[in-house]
């Protein structure tokens, strides 16, 4: 499977992570609302892909590692957008590094 397909798969898996959102019945804000097992698996897969395909000092890798660190919807949305940027650049220029 090529890198563009791999990134698309990670984007789709990120959407599945978002689908695990369970709002607090008490209306609490500030607690992770996503299934942490599903989130952790997705995050690990994304970091592994980025680390294998880009240098560790690459903006994609650093941004994902730093921004996608907890099971909040906002962090997963940020991760998906980073992955979309990776995909766009791979499609446009065939970038690997």
Q: What is the pTM of this model?
A: 0.87
Number of separate helices (H) and strands (E) present in the chain: 4, 0
**How high is the pLDDT of residue 33?**
82
Tell me the C-alpha distance between 8 and 25, whole Å.
Answer: 33
28 domain-assigned: no
Mean pLDDT of 57-80: 94
Query: What's residue 44's pLDDT?
Result: 98
Q: Give the Cα separation of 81 and 94 in Å (integer).
A: 18
Percent of the chain's residues with pLDDT above 70: 86
89 is a domain residue = yes
Predicted local distance difference test score (pLDDT) of residue 6: 96
Give the span between the Cα atoms of 7 and 2, in whole angstroms: 9
The sign of the dihedral angle between the CA atoms of 47, 53, 54, 56 is: positive
Q: Quick one: average pLDDT of 62-89?
A: 95
**68 within domain boundaries:** yes
The total number of structural domains that make up the chain:
1
22 pLDDT higher than 80: yes
pLDDT, averaged across the chain? 89
């Amino acid at each position: 499977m090529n890198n563009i397909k791999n990134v698309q798969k990670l984007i789709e898996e990120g959407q599945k992570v978002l689908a695990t959102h369970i709002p607090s019945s008490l209306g609490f804000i500030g607690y992770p609302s996503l299934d942490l097992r599903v989130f952790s698996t997705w995050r690990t897969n994304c970091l592994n892909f980025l680390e294998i395909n880009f240098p560790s000092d690459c903006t994609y890798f650093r941004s994902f590692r730093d921004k996608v660190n907890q099971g909040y919807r906002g962090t997963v949305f940020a991760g998906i957008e980073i992955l979309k940027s990776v995909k766009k650049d791979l499609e446009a220029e065939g970038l690997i590094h």
